Every structure is written in C-alpha cells, then in structure tokens.
Amino acid sequence: MDVFKKESLELLRSRIDLVEVLSPHLALKNSGSVFKALCPFHEEKTPSFIIKRGDSHYHCFGCGAHGDAIAFLMGYLKMNFLEAVEHLAERFQVALERESSHKGDLSIQKAPLKEALEKAASFFHFCLLHTKEGHEALSYLYKRGISLDFIRSFRLGWAPSQGNLLLRFLKKERVSEESAQRAGLIRVSERGFARDFFSERITFPILDKLGAVIGFSARKIKESTFGGKYINTPDTLLFKKSHVLFGLYHSRKRIAKEQRAIVVEGQIDALRLIHEGFDFVVAAQGTAFGEGHLGELLSLGVRHVYLALDADRAGEAAMVKIGNLFQKLGIEVSILDLPKGSDPDTLLQEAGPEGFLKLLEKRESYLSFLIKTTSREFDLDSPSGKSQLVRRLSEQIRSWDEPVMVHESLRLLSQLLHIPERMIGVDELVVPNLYVKREENLSSQPFNADKVMESDLVRWLLLSGTNHPQIALRARRNLKKEDFRDPICKKLFDLYFALFDEEKPRDLLAITIQMKEEEEGRFLSELLEKRVSLERVDAGVTEAIQKLLIRNWMEEREELKAKLQDPTLSEEKALFFVKKFDELKKSPPQVLIESKDLVTKTTSKPNF
C-alpha cells in the first residue's frame, strides 16, 4: 500500500477548490458569500446544501451532511480514500510523493495514457458515425435494435480495418507512440512495426469511476475478422481486467444506494439494461468473474446479487461458480431464469423492461438453482446417487464463511431434498465468535483481534462521524483512549476527539497529515479502503462500541480470576476480588445512548 508524504498532502490540501470539485456533480448557485445546491445525500425541494466562499467544507442544514472534498468523493462517487486523493492530485496538478517508493508519481504517469484513450474514443466514435466502413457497423447495430441515441449515450465506435489509422491520428494529435502503446492502443512487432491494437470491430469504451476512458472492449461483426468475438485492452497502468467491471461507472451510485447488483455476461447486455433504467448492472471484462470483481461490488456494500448470464450450459456453470463466491461471504444470490437461447439484450427487445422486471420478481434462490444443476450429474433414482449429491452440496455449503448462512442453507437443503436435518448435521454446527471477523487487508500481518475490533470503530468515526454527530457523541460517552489496545487505533481515536473538542474540522486529509510514521499512514490507508453503510450508522457504531466494551469487561473478569488463583492472596483481598467479580458478572456493559438535546446542542453551529 502506497503512503503519501506529509508535504505532498499539505500542498494538495492548500490547492483544493471545493466548488470546482463539486460543480460537475451539483447545480451550485451563487448567493452572496455562499454557494447553494440541492443536497445529493437526501431528497429535498429547497436547497439546504451550503458551501461558504473560500471554505474547504460543505454542510447540509437538512440532513447534517458535512465534509470536505475527499468526504464528498467517497460519499457521493463511492471512491475509496486513496482513489479520492489521487483524483484530487491529478485535478489540481499536485505530484504526490510516496514514502519508500521508487515508482514515481502515478498521476503523472497516468495523464498521457488518459489523454490518448480519450482521443481514441473520439476517433472511434467519429469513424462509426461518419465513415463508409462505420455505416456498415451502424447497420449491424440498428438490426440489433440499438438506436442512435444509445450509440451516442455510450460513445460506441468503430475501429477501422486499415491497421494504423488510429496511430496516425494520435500522432497528429501530438500523442507519442510510447503513450499509445502503454495505453494498450497499439502493438509493436518484434521488428519494431507499430499497428493499431483494435481493427475492424465495434468499440465499447470502458470507464473509470469518474467517466474517464481507461480501455476498450471490441466486438467483431464478421467471421473473417481475426481473433475471438470480443477482445479487450491488455492490462495497463489504468486497466486491469481482473478488477474492472463494465458498466460500473453508470451503475455505482444506485448499487451503493440499494446495495444490490445485476451481473450479466456481455457489454451490450449491460448497456441495454442501463439504457432501459436498470442502472445497477455490471459485466465482467471477457474473463471469469473473480475475487477482484467481487471486491469491487463488496466495496459498494452489496448485499444481494442477481445473476443473469446466458441461458446455456456455459452460463449455468458460470452462475454456479460466481454465486458460490458471493454466498461464501454471506451475500444473497438470486438467479434470473432467462428463456433458453436468450440473453438480457434479446429479452429486453422482445419483452421490454416489463418483461425483465417480471424476471426479477420471479427470481430463483441460488440453493434451488444449485440443486437443480448439480442433480444432473447424479442418478437420483439410486440411493448412492442421492447420497453423493447430498454430500457434494453439504460440503459446498459448509465451506461458506457465514455461520447463519450455512445453518439456514443446510436446513433448506434438507427440506428441498426431503432429508432429515440431523442426517446432514444441521444441529452439529459450531458457530464461531461473531464478535471478531477477520479482515484481509488489516491481517496481512499476523492476525490481531484487538486491531480488527478497534479499527472497525475508528473507521465508522472517520467515515461517518462528521455527517452523523450522534455517533461521535456515543463513542465519546462510552469509550476513552485507554480502552484501546492497538497503538495506532488509540492514536487515531485520540486525534479525532482532540479535533472534536476543539470544534475543528475532522476531515480525512487533516487526520492523514498528522500520521507521522509510515506504518501509521499505511494502516490508515488500508483502514479507509473498506466502506461503511451509511444506512446503518447507528446500529454499526453501537455494535462496534459494544464489542469493545464486552472485550474489556471479559478481560477484567479474567484478570480477577487470575488474581483469585494466587496462593499468597490474603483472605481480605480474596473477598474483595470475589465481590468485585460478582458485581462485574451481574452487570455486563451496555452502550449508553446520547440524548437528542445533546446532539442538537452540539450540531447547532456547524464548523465550516
């Protein structure tokens, strides 16, 4: 994980213009010394979202949303902390120096690649609409029910058959051959001859979180064209096939808001659904849906996934595999039963949005689908065949991480296959400690349960505490820095409330700058990569506080037990410790909830 130098972050902070950052996303209106807009974080008819001229923070008097440029990018555009910092550095032309890094400034390396890709997208789009070759491709698209409005909305293009037209265009636009190659737009032979990477194909721009072109997916329309039906930009500094989900730029806001996503197979499937109003859909980039794609959706807080892959054996096999990835993590999976030989694109053309909506309503559970597809491999008329099926399915279910998901799925399995629950060991499940859940990023070092629990609370404070003052008050009322074991979490908690007590902005950049040690900065960066669900702020913070209180309560009890086992302990002290132990046992900790009056008093004068 890269950590930026303090000096770089301070320079960035001094250059950020909040109005410039928010203007592309909000209709800001100048009103004297302030800018006003309708709040993007809640529905309203009268603007209550305010930015004071020259200030680095916004505030909404309607819902209490408050933050800086980074908080806005994370909350509205669903970036993680590092993505937000790198985006702002690129926008305000600040070279971010990294601690202990020899990679140089990535934003400087990325800029010429983004320029080349943007020019290529314009070139391909022009070729589709205004050349003879392109008109043949247009006819193909029109026959597939794709309108001119659709083509323009998503900037579809045509890569001409002549092998170096794009390269020649880019050179005229003063894009270097090196930048074009590093962007994946040209390939250079062993003899040093450069040719366009895409040729005689319809192009679909692949966009990053802000809508910048980072690559292309391209489909051939003639059998004579060399290569597979689809080819993608090779992996570059900007584009990683194993992590990029097609359509996510158009869908990320709704996915994050509704915590659900549709996963489809093809680019046209995804774009058609988005165009018809189902803008919570993504497609993988011509590769098997893997851990990287899974992580992208998990980072948006997805809790329900609908799989709508092609209705053939290959599509079914893929849905079994993809569904298992999500079920393993406790994410609900539903299967959309497309008609045989159909895909979402053809279904929408034939049945319209209403037809697809009915498909969503009639969705099939993943377990039911898994039983149906796996059953084909066994002879269910024989006891041996049914036994093998049950063994296969129960082993798969037991491999999932979430104990409640495992328990309920085994119960459902017994019902669907008419087998007693005890025969598949439903009652024998050992439920692990639900208070501690290991997080991969923070556990690349030896697992530290204290760090995991404490970082959970700190994350809630850093990502939600400014917009939701009640959670800061709740943490303040129930915990003090001495309650923390991990030194970095303790420091972050202490720093946060030092700013809180001084009524200073508790923005992420200000806190990051205070992290003097490289290890602290790295930990904070990893901590902020995981998002929190703003819909469950109150419950999430209460749970995080409760875990720490219970841990400390149990540790205090264990310390008293240890003291009572000391053979040299006097009778008087033993009685004192026994009494104290009994008092502790009778009074497990409860989270104290702040009064509404206190929250109102604290938030009546927002810090701009």
Helices (H), 92-176: 106-130, 132-143, 148-154, 165-172
At 403 the pLDDT is 82
User: What's the average model confidence in pLDDT over 371-388?
Assistant: 87
Query: Which residues is 196 bridged to in the sheet?
Result: 186
Reduced to 3 states (helix: H, G, I; strand: E, B; else coil), residue 215 is strand
At 534 the pLDDT is 62
426 contacts: CB under 8 Å, gap ≥ 6: 407, 410, 411, 414
Q: Is 481 exposed, middle or buried (0-12, 13-18, 19+ CB in 10 A)?
A: middle
At 100 the pLDDT is 57
Q: Tell me the residue length of the chain.
A: 608
Contact of 246 with 267, CB cutoff 8 Å? yes
Contact of 133 with 158, CB cutoff 8 Å? yes
Is residue 599 predicted with pLDDT exceeding 60?
no
Contacts 24+ apart (CB under 8 A), 207-212: 207/248, 207/249, 207/250, 208/238, 208/249, 209/77, 209/78, 209/79, 209/83, 209/248, 209/249, 209/252, 210/77, 210/87, 210/249, 211/249, 212/114, 212/117, 212/118
What's 23's DSSP letter?
T
At 106 the pLDDT is 65
Q: Which amino acid is at 361?
A: E
> Binning pLDDT at 50, 70 and 90, where does residue 219 land?
very high
User: What's the average model confidence in pLDDT over 192-216?
Assistant: 93
What tokens does 156 get? 């579809």
Reduced to 3 states (helix: H, G, I; strand: E, B; else coil), residue 159 is strand
Tell me the CATH class for 248-356: alpha beta
Q: Is 288 exposed, middle or buried (0-12, 13-18, 19+ CB in 10 A)?
A: exposed
User: What's the average model confidence in pLDDT over 233-255?
Assistant: 92
Name the least confident of 16-20, 180-184, 309-313.
309-313
What tokens does 592 get? 């104290």
At 192 the pLDDT is 83
Is residue 169 predicted with pLDDT exceeding 50?
yes
Reduced to 3 states (helix: H, G, I; strand: E, B; else coil), residue 125 is helix
**pLDDT of 64-123, one tens digit each?**
777 888 888 887 887 878 888 888 988 888 888 776 554 556 667 888 999 999 999 999
Supply the DSSP string of 88-107, one letter for each residue: HHHHTT----BTT--S--HH
Nearest to 508 by CA among 518, 495, 490: 495
Nearest to 431 by CA among 413, 450, 448, 410: 410
Is residue 251 predicted with pLDDT exceeding 90?
yes
> Binning pLDDT at 50, 70 and 90, where does residue 171 land?
very high
Q: Of the ranges 102-106, 496-500, 511-515, which is most confident?
A: 496-500
Is residue 443 predicted with pLDDT exceeding 50?
no
- Kindly report the number of other CB atoms within 10 A of residue 255's CB atom: 24
Question: What is the rounded distance in angstroms from the CA atom of residue 66 to the CA atom of residue 171?
Answer: 46
Residue 442, φ and ψ in degrees, nearest 5: -85, 0
Strand order in the sheet with 281-283: 281-283, 260-264, 304-307, 332-335, 364-365
> Binning pLDDT at 50, 70 and 90, where does residue 215 land?
very high
Q: Is 509 exposed, middle or buried (0-12, 13-18, 19+ CB in 10 A)?
A: buried
502 contacts: CB under 8 Å, gap ≥ 6: none
Tell me the CATH class for 6-91: alpha beta
**pLDDT of 531-551, one tens digit each?**
666 667 788 889 999 999 999
Question: What is the rounded distance in angstroms from the CA atom of residue 239 to the CA atom of residue 237?
Answer: 6
Supply the DSSP string of 359-373, one letter for each residue: HHHT-EEHHHHHHHH
Q: Is 289 exposed, middle or buried (0-12, 13-18, 19+ CB in 10 A)?
A: buried
104 contacts: CB under 8 Å, gap ≥ 6: none
At 596 the pLDDT is 53
**pLDDT of 409-434, one tens digit each?**
888 888 888 888 888 877 655 444 44
Taking CA atoms, 502 is separated from 68, 200, 488, 506, in Å, by: 18, 63, 21, 10
Is residue 2 predicted with pLDDT exceeding 60?
no
User: What's the average model confidence in pLDDT over 348-365?
Assistant: 95
User: What's the average model confidence in pLDDT over 469-493?
Assistant: 90
**pLDDT of 268-284, one tens digit each?**
999 999 999 999 999 98
Contact of 478 with 546, CB cutoff 8 Å? no
Express as a percent the part of the chain with pLDDT over 70: 88
Q: At what angle do helices 132-143 and 106-130 cross, to 10 degrees?
A: 80
Q: Are strands 304-307 and 281-283 parallel, antiparallel or unpaired?
A: unpaired
Question: What is the rounded distance in angstroms from the CA atom of residue 51 to the CA atom of residue 86?
Answer: 23
Q: Of the ranges 132-136, 338-342, 464-468, which is most confident?
A: 132-136
What tokens does 141 get? 């698209």
CA atoms within 13 A on the CB side of 364: 18
At 603 the pLDDT is 44
Is residue 509 predicted with pLDDT exceeding 70?
yes
Question: What is the rounded distance in angstroms from the CA atom of residue 75 to the CA atom of residue 532?
Answer: 10
> What residues does each domain of the chain span?
6-91, 106-232, 248-356, 377-428, 441-599
What tokens does 109 get? 């390396």
**pLDDT of 549-591, one tens digit each?**
999 888 888 888 888 888 888 888 888 878 887 887 878 888 8
Question: What is the rounded distance in angstroms from the CA atom of residue 264 to the CA atom of residue 157?
Answer: 22
User: What's the average model confidence in pLDDT over 52-64?
Assistant: 84
Share the mean pLDDT of the chain: 85
Q: How far apart are the first and last CA of the chain?
A: 32
Question: What is the rounded distance in angstroms from the CA atom of residue 355 to the CA atom of residue 281?
Answer: 16
Taking CA atoms, 396 is separated from 324, 327, 332, 416, in Å, by: 8, 10, 16, 16
What tokens does 329 get? 């993590």
Question: Measured at the alpha carbon of residue 536, what is the angle toward residues 535 and 539, in degrees to the nearest 5?
Answer: 160
> Binning pLDDT at 50, 70 and 90, where does residue 7 land?
confident
> Binning pLDDT at 50, 70 and 90, where does residue 231 land?
very high
At 65 the pLDDT is 78
Nearest to 118 by CA among 78, 168, 163, 173: 173
Q: Is 29 exposed, middle or buried (0-12, 13-18, 19+ CB in 10 A)?
A: exposed
Tell me the CATH class for 441-599: mainly alpha
Does domain 106-232 match CATH 3.90.980.10?
A: yes
Nearest to 121 by CA among 162, 147, 156: 156
**pLDDT of 14-27, one tens digit each?**
899 999 999 988 99
Name the least confident of 158-167, 204-213, 456-465, 542-551.
456-465
> Binning pLDDT at 50, 70 and 90, where does residue 174 land?
very high
Is residue 31 predicted with pLDDT exceeding 50?
yes
